[in-house]
Amino acid sequence: MVGFEGFAAVIEAIGGHTRRTISFFGDVLGLFALTLKQLPKLSAGARRDVFLTQFRRQLYNTGFRAAYVNCAIAVLLGIGLADQLFGYMPKIGNAADLFVVVVVRELAPMLSGIILIARSATAATAEIGYLRLNNEFDVLRAQGIDPVFLFILPVFFAFPISLLLMLVYFNFVCLISAWAYLYFLADSGWTLSLLISAVTDRLTGGELLVTALKAMLGGVVIALVSLHSGWRVGGRFTDISRAISSSTTALLIAYFCISIGLSVLVY
């Protein structure tokens, strides 16, 4: 009897988790559809100006203010990669192949995505959560202002573009720092133009397309999940920290699945 009750409890727990997961994906897709419905409002000049103001604020906070963190990690990665692997791959062609496969394909998207999640997605969740907690959305609706247009739509566009910019920063800075280490400390004799030429020769249109797809698709998912978590905040102050924790966990899993899944499918 006890064994049957334990088995039933396990089945009930699995079923409950499955229902919550399906409900979560349904809510995120609903938010996506709700966001797309706001696009026709951009045709109005006054509303477009409001959107651009919010969009520039989000782009500055996510794509530019995070540049120093992104570049600092890229410098460390470039130095570490050059220090560990130059002895095994002394030819510039092999080093360029490694850079494209390891950094451009995998590490740059993954680390940039983690930075965006840790720095900007949590901030977006907290911002929307505080607005929900203080019933600011109800006040905006009473004034005829759609909170989805004002707060959700700018983030929806800013996050993918910011992640794409972060990938550009990361790859460029990582390559420069790797070259500087190899040229000044490892006496490789490689010039910067020679290394850049070797890397660009191995960057095909498909490589760039997949990298851009990781940024755009990953950025959209990060935006939607973080905003959805903030939107679900209730009337308790502790709901905000709980929303940030749950959204961060979901985002890390989702983004890794997107990044690795695209690599497996394409390469």
In the chain, which residue ranges form alpha helices assigned H by DSSP? 2-36, 45-59, 67-85, 92-98, 108-116, 122-133, 136-142, 147, 153-184, 192-202, 205-231, 238-266
Give me the residue spans of the domains in the chain: 1-32, 47-266
Tell me the pTM.
0.88
In this prediction, residue 2 carries a pLDDT of 47
Q: CA-based Rg of the chain, rounded to a whole angstrom?
A: 22
Judge whether residue 1 has pLDDT over 60: no
217 closest CA partner among 249, 244, 267, 257: 257
In this prediction, residue 112 carries a pLDDT of 95
Euclidean distance between CA atoms 187 and 117, whole angstroms = 38
Euclidean distance between CA atoms 198 and 196, whole angstroms = 5
124-172 residue pLDDT tens: 999 999 988 888 888 888 888 888 898 899 999 999 999 999 999 999 9
Mean pLDDT for the stretch of residues 218-229: 94
How many Cβ atoms sit within 10 Å of the Cβ of residue 40?
9
Judge whether residue 206 has pLDDT over 70: yes
Q: Of 69-78, 187-196, 216-225, give the lowest mean pLDDT range.
A: 187-196
Which of 32-36, 37-41, 114-118, 194-198 has the highest mean predicted lDDT (pLDDT)? 114-118
Euclidean distance between CA atoms 178 and 120, whole angstroms = 28
Mean pLDDT for the stretch of residues 189-199: 86
109 closest CA partner among 77, 84, 86, 81: 77
Judge whether residue 13 has pLDDT over 70: no
Residue 22 pLDDT grade (very low, low, confident, very high; cuts 50, 70, 90): confident
Mean pLDDT for the stretch of residues 242-262: 92
Angle between helices 238-266 and 122-133 (to 10 degrees): 140
Euclidean distance between CA atoms 182 and 132, whole angstroms = 52
In this prediction, residue 175 carries a pLDDT of 93
224-251 residue pLDDT tens: 999 999 988 877 878 888 999 989 999 9
Judge whether residue 86 has pLDDT over 90: no
Judge whether residue 257 has pLDDT over 90: yes
Euclidean distance between CA atoms 164 and 167, whole angstroms = 5
Please report, rounded to a whole number, the percentage of residues in the chain having pLDDT higher than 90. Answer: 45
23-82 residue pLDDT tens: 777 888 888 898 999 999 888 888 899 899 999 999 998 888 888 899 999 999 999 888
Mean pLDDT for the stretch of residues 251-256: 93
In this prediction, residue 222 carries a pLDDT of 95
266 closest CA partner among 78, 77, 104: 104
As to burial, measured by CB atoms within 10 angstroms (0-12 exposed, 13-18 middle, 19+ buried), residue 242 is middle
Backbone angles phi, psi at 37, to 5 degrees: -65, -15
Euclidean distance between CA atoms 182 and 96, whole angstroms = 13
In this prediction, residue 195 carries a pLDDT of 86
Cα dist. 14→2, 3, 198 in Å? 18, 17, 51
